[in-house]
Structure 1
Amino acid sequence: MAEFDKNYWEDHWTLDSPEQEQRQLPVNPYLPAETTHLPPGAALDAGCGSGAEALLLAEQGWRVTAADISATALATAQARAAAAGLANRIDWVEADLSRWAPDRTWDLVVTNYAHAEIGQLPLYRRLASWVAPGGTLLIVGHLHGHHHGDHSGHDRPDSATATLNSITNLFTVPAWRIDAGYENTRTVRPGGTPVQLRDVIVRARRLS
């Protein structure tokens, strides 16, 4: 079973890693679909990786805090932001989301396939505590099922997946409202090889 600690993620983002092609993956389609209607404010990209989603948010007018446990991923992301002319709109933070204790909240908190040592649902609870009242939390994760490999030879442990119900059950009235919750299957082509992803997407609004 994978342990999603700093060593795991540094290995994941190392230049000679088999996952290097992930640096070239486009922004996941759920981010623009679920956030373009929101007025730009302060956003946190929790587990930002190589920065694709953070850059998109900055382009949309958000002031972004982008946090990741991997210094290697952050270096790649910072270089991409500088090349795109967005360096002044993004603050980069090297942080373990399992332990990080920011002293602020954000209008939008997004997480895209982030994994932490504490498991998915405890991670999502932590992210929820960083959403300002009236703000939005967008979770994009790997859907749990009987077969949750990605068809490229990499199986995901149960701790790296979640069901739609298990996530939405975290966000109940009167404190939260679920604005979107669904499952989707899509195909990406890292390095030109088709890979099928089974995704779970939840957008919730914090009411109090």
Structure 2
Amino acid sequence: MGPEEEYGEQFWEERYASRPSVWSGQPNPQLVAEVADLPPGTALDVGAGEGADSCWLAERGWRVTALDLSATALRRGAEHAARAGVGERIEWVRGDVRTWDPGERRFDLVSAQFLHLRNEELRDLLRRLAGTVTPGGTMLVVQHDAHDLDTTVGRPHLPERFAAAADVAAWLPAGWAVEVAEARPRQATDPDGNPVTVHDAVVRARLP
């Protein structure tokens, strides 16, 4: 399997099919930290997975478009949303984030959490997604920081898929106001059960 296919549709379908759930079911902590105080509007959850972020947003009044490549993940997300009573606030869209065309849709928030893309793919994606944000809207990007490659947490040794916050911020088109760009520490556990500090590359920017 080459690097282009490593995180493609087959990979994700097999991963989701291998267990009843892949993720914790809890929203990503940096989404909670950065978005909790924003007034609800329309949101795009890029790489929505099993839908925890989308459901959290919907529970707070957002209308969400949840985009993911895996049909299995989207089905689980819709089930999660139904149980939470927010199914009508979320549209589940199957598509590849690298090629998906939003058409005329525009969003008050675009959230991209831990996308498994090479840095050049992420750069191109963010420049495209920037055009989908409404004036005054927010883009939130969270990636694994390159420092995590030196920990025991078990990240794949693929440096081209780890991005520094400063680089992510620089990839946004001119005119964006970068409000947060930092490597934010977070406690995690490695495969042997040892506590370890990892870092999330967090970028929040606003379109004036």
Please give the TM-score of this superposition, normalised by the length of structure 1. 0.86
Per the alignment, residue 169 of structure 1 pairs with 170
* C-alpha contact (below 8 Å) 2:184/2:199 kept by paired residues: yes
Decide which of 113, 138, 151 is 2:140's aligned counterpart: 138
What residue ranges of structure 1 are gaps of 5+ in the alignment?
A: none
Task: Pick which of 115-124 and 36-45 moved more.
Answer: 115-124
* Aligned amino acid, residue 160 of structure 2: S
Which one of 10, 13, 28 corresponds to residue 13 of structure 2?
Answer: 10
Which one-letter code corresponds to 2:52 in the other structure? Answer: A
Residue 184 (structure 1) aligned with residue 187 (structure 2): no
Whole-angstrom CA distance in 1 between matches of 2:192 and 2:57? 26
Aligned counterparts of 1:32 and 1:94: Cα–Cα separation in 2: 24
Counterpart residue type for residue 92 of structure 1: W
1:1-208 mapped onto 2 (5 Å cutoff): 2=3, 3-16=6-19, 22-103=22-103, 104-116=105-117, 119-145=121-147, 148=149, 151-171=152-172, 173=174, 175-188=175-188, 193=193, 196-207=197-208
Moved more, 53-62 or 124-133: 124-133
Task: Output the CA distance in 1 between the equivalents of 2:156 and 2:164.
Answer: 17
Question: What SS does the corresponding residue of 1:184 show, helix, strand or coil?
Answer: strand
SS at match of 1:76: helix
Q: Distance in 1 between matches of 2:168 and 2:191?
A: 31
Q: Deviating runs (4+, > 3 A) in structure 1?
A: 188-197
Q: Supply the distance in 1 between the matched residues of 2:196 and 2:38 (Cα, whole angstroms).
A: 31
Which region of structure 1 is more displaced relative to structure 2, 153-162 or 87-96? Answer: 153-162
CA distance in 2, matches of 1:80, 1:190: 27
For 1:45, what is the secondary structure of its paired residue? strand
Unaligned runs of 5+ in 2: none
Relative distance call for 1:97 and 1:149 in structure 2 (3 A) is farther
Counterparts of 1:76 and 1:38, CA distance in 2: 27
Percent of residue pairs bearing the same amino acid type: 37
Compute the RMSD of aligned alpha carbons: 2.4
Partner of 1:23: helix, strand, or coil? coil
Deviations 1:97-155 (A, max 9, x none): 1001111110100011022466322222222222122210000111124x526634441
SS of corresponding position for 2:76:
helix
1:121–1:206 CA distance, 2 compared to 1 (3 A): same
Contact 1:111–1:138 (CA under 8 A) maintained in structure 2: yes
How far did 1:81 drift?
A: 0.6
Equivalent residue of 2:96, what SS?
coil
Q: Distance in 2 between matches of 1:89 and 1:29?
A: 21
**Contact 2:153–2:191 (CA<8 Å) still a contact in 1?**
no
Structure 2 length-normalised TM? 0.86
Would the alpha carbon gap of residues 152 and 171 (structure 1) be closer, same or farther in structure 2, given more than 3 Å must change? Answer: closer
Cα shift at 1:62: 0.3
Contact 1:68 1:97 in 2 (8 A): yes
Residues 25 and 183 of structure 1: CA distance in aligned 2, closer, same or farther (over 3 Å): farther
- Alpha-carbon distance in structure 1 between the residues aligned to 2:41 and 2:22: 28
